[in-house]
Amino acid sequence: MPPPRPRCMLPRMRRTLAENGALLLRVTVSLMMLSHGVPKALDYDTLVQTFPDPLNVGTEMSAMLILFAEVGCSILLLLGLFGRFASATLFIAMMVAAFAHHFDDPWAARELPLLYAAVYAALTLTGPGSLSIDGWFAKTVFETKAPVSPKPPRAEPGAPT
């Protein structure tokens, strides 16, 4: 009888690499966006007076919406909590920045918001990954283990069955 074939580790390795890639992308883009949002939040009084109003909801409401996205949703995404909601919200914010706020600006002014938007679109489609609070929650709450049926006791050799 030939020796048992070792299980192929390739699918497991691919899954691990994909999960680590999602974690790296999520954490990196969150920290980078926080570097845009935190200075705005710290200088809120000046921001409200000078912030543009691309959606016609008022400058203060526009400033609050972008702070919610850039700070609040970036923290949620960093933790992997409500990851798809946070990344979808940030995607919308970056699309507004690229196509409403920078409408008359040259292409170079739209590149950064569009790059962020592409990353947020990818994270919205893939989710935050299993190395997140969402992933932990899904694993512990929503995954149910199949009930294990008790094995019948093994009969002794030679005993009647």
Tokens encoding 21? 């890639």
157 within a domain of the structure (yes/no): no
Residues 55-82 have pLDDT tens digits of: 889 889 999 999 999 999 999 999 999 9
5 within a domain of the structure (yes/no): no
Q: Answer yes or no: is pLDDT of 36 > 90.
A: yes
Asked whether 40 and 67 are in contact (CB, 8 A), the reply is yes
Q: Which positions ≥6 away from 84 have C-beta within 8 Å?
A: 123, 124, 127, 128, 134
Quick one: pLDDT band at residue 160, thresholds 50, 70, 90?
Answer: low
**Dihedrals φ, ψ of 159, to 5°?**
-80, 150
21 within a domain of the structure (yes/no): yes
- Count of structural domains within the chain: 1
The proportion of the chain whose per-residue pLDDT surpasses 90, expressed as a percent, equals: 44
Look up the domain containing 99 and give its range: 15-133
Residues 78-89 have pLDDT tens digits of: 999 998 999 999
161 within a domain of the structure (yes/no): no
117 within a domain of the structure (yes/no): yes
Half-sphere exposure for 135 (CA within 13 Å, toward CB): 14
Q: What is the pTM of this model?
A: 0.77
1 within a domain of the structure (yes/no): no
